[in-house]
Amino acid sequence: MLKENSIDYKKLKLGKNGIPAWDGLAYPTLLVINDAGTLIRKEIRRRVIKLLYIPEELTQVRYKNGNNILADRIDWAYWEMTMAGLLDRPARATYQITKLGKKILKEYGPQLDVKVIHSQKPFLEYKEELEQRNKRDGVEVKTRVIEGTENSSENIAELVTAANNAVATELLARIQQAEPSFFETLVVKLLSAMGYQGDDGTAIITQSSGDSGIDGIINQDPLGTSTVYIQAKRYKKGNTVARPEIDGFYGALAGRNASRGVFITTSKFTSGAQEQAKKFSIVLIDGIKLTKLMLKYRVGVQVKASFDLFEVDDDFFE
């Protein structure tokens, strides 16, 4: 017998093991976040499970890797809805419903599913960016099922690249939601992690006022004889860095008699900006390249899992 105000989980879209699929969990997940205002990740799981009144044995079912299936699908639900603009992250591991989310909740209610979520403009933009990343890396999203061992390394590498590109796309969305000062700190940390600071160098973030277009300075040696100047532009989707911004940065570099500059943005550069940067020997890093570097040098991310791929040692048998 259902408790008062509970939802019958059996009427939701079910996946394997008789547990609701992630998009079946989208409606109750959106509902509990809407009712609470803001919720941390752990509390979202607890309230959804309580709302659905799911039997204890189903809440304990796990994948072969040990992860809890129900918790994983709830996490998947709020992640997908965040990418679709139905939810927002005002703080670390904290979620709240957006105006779009309230509209969708009212309009679709229990009929909310993957088709609705994936048809939202923010999700389509996310998908487009992900496709651009995979195209740059030459990755086919629909990778073949591994058969035998001849192509297994290549196939697994493609799967890992595609998965990491999805993480990088989410990472860029998080950066675009952050404060400009956070982004300036981030790019300095990234270049330091890449080795530009050197063993005895320094890395500083300039003050917001009076920086003359310079957001960060990295001295690669104690005497400051080799210096990299940084400009960081945290732009949202649709806003591109054009030639005037490059000209302004070059002017700031010239004012310091500097010859080395790196311009980093969360967005893209126009063709005019790229041509001008080549003339001035300014290095450009767009949003996609930025997050690829963050993954490579492990800034803002952590390794979730690693695997060993084996092959038979022919020398052993000779």
CATH of the domain at 225: 3.40.1350.10
Which amino acid, one-letter code, is at 231? Q
Does 214 score more than 80 pLDDT?
A: yes
Highest mean pLDDT among 192-196, 219-223, 299-303: 299-303
In this prediction, residue 115 carries a pLDDT of 95
pLDDT band at 213 (very low <50, low <70, confident <90, very high): confident
Give φ, ψ of 283 to 5 degrees: -80, 130
Check whether residue 188 and residue 268 sit in a common domain.
yes
Q: Which of 71, 98, 119 is the last residue of a domain?
A: 119
How far is the CA of 151 from the CAs of 154, 156, 224, 241, 318, in angstroms? 5, 9, 49, 41, 24
Kindly report the average pLDDT of the chain as a whole number. Answer: 85
In this prediction, residue 149 carries a pLDDT of 44
300 in a structural domain? no
310 in a structural domain? no
pLDDT band at 91 (very low <50, low <70, confident <90, very high): confident
Does 210 score more than 60 pLDDT?
A: no
96 in a structural domain? yes
**For residue 245, what are the domain limits?**
180-285
146 in a structural domain? no
Hey, is 56 helix, strand or coil? helix
Does 139 score more than 80 pLDDT?
A: no
In this prediction, residue 154 carries a pLDDT of 67
In this prediction, residue 184 carries a pLDDT of 87
CATH of the domain at 35: 1.10.10.10
195 in a structural domain? yes
Q: What is the tally of structural domains in the chain?
A: 2
Does 101 score more than 70 pLDDT?
A: yes
Question: Minimum mean pLDDT among 65-74, 168-177, 200-209, 210-219: which range?
Answer: 200-209
Check whether residue 276 and residue 190 sit in a common domain.
yes
Check whether residue 11 and residue 109 sit in a common domain.
yes
pLDDT digits (tens, 9 = 90+) for 22-78: 999 999 999 999 999 999 999 999 999 999 988 889 989 998 878 899 999 999 999
110 in a structural domain? yes
Following CA atoms 15, 127, 161, 175 in sequence, which dihedral angle do they give, to the nearest 10 degrees? -110
171 in a structural domain? no
* pLDDT mean over 228-235: 90
Question: Minimum mean pLDDT among 132-141, 143-152, 173-182: which range?
Answer: 143-152
How far is the CA of 305 from the CAs of 63, 134, 156, in angstroms? 15, 21, 14
In this prediction, residue 152 carries a pLDDT of 60
pLDDT digits (tens, 9 = 90+) for 260-301: 899 999 999 999 999 999 999 899 999 999 999 999 999 999
Alpha-carbon dihedral sign for residues 288, 290, 291, 296: positive
Please state, in angstroms and rounded to a whole number, the distance separating the CA atoms of residues 162 and 140.
8
pLDDT band at 144 (very low <50, low <70, confident <90, very high): very low
Q: Which of 72, 92, 119 is the last residue of a domain?
A: 119
Give φ, ψ of 213 to 5 degrees: 85, 5
pLDDT band at 142 (very low <50, low <70, confident <90, very high): low
108 in a structural domain? yes
Q: Which of 94, 119, 144 is the last residue of a domain?
A: 119
Hey, is 68 helix, strand or coil? strand
Check whether residue 196 and residue 269 sit in a common domain.
yes
In this prediction, residue 246 carries a pLDDT of 94
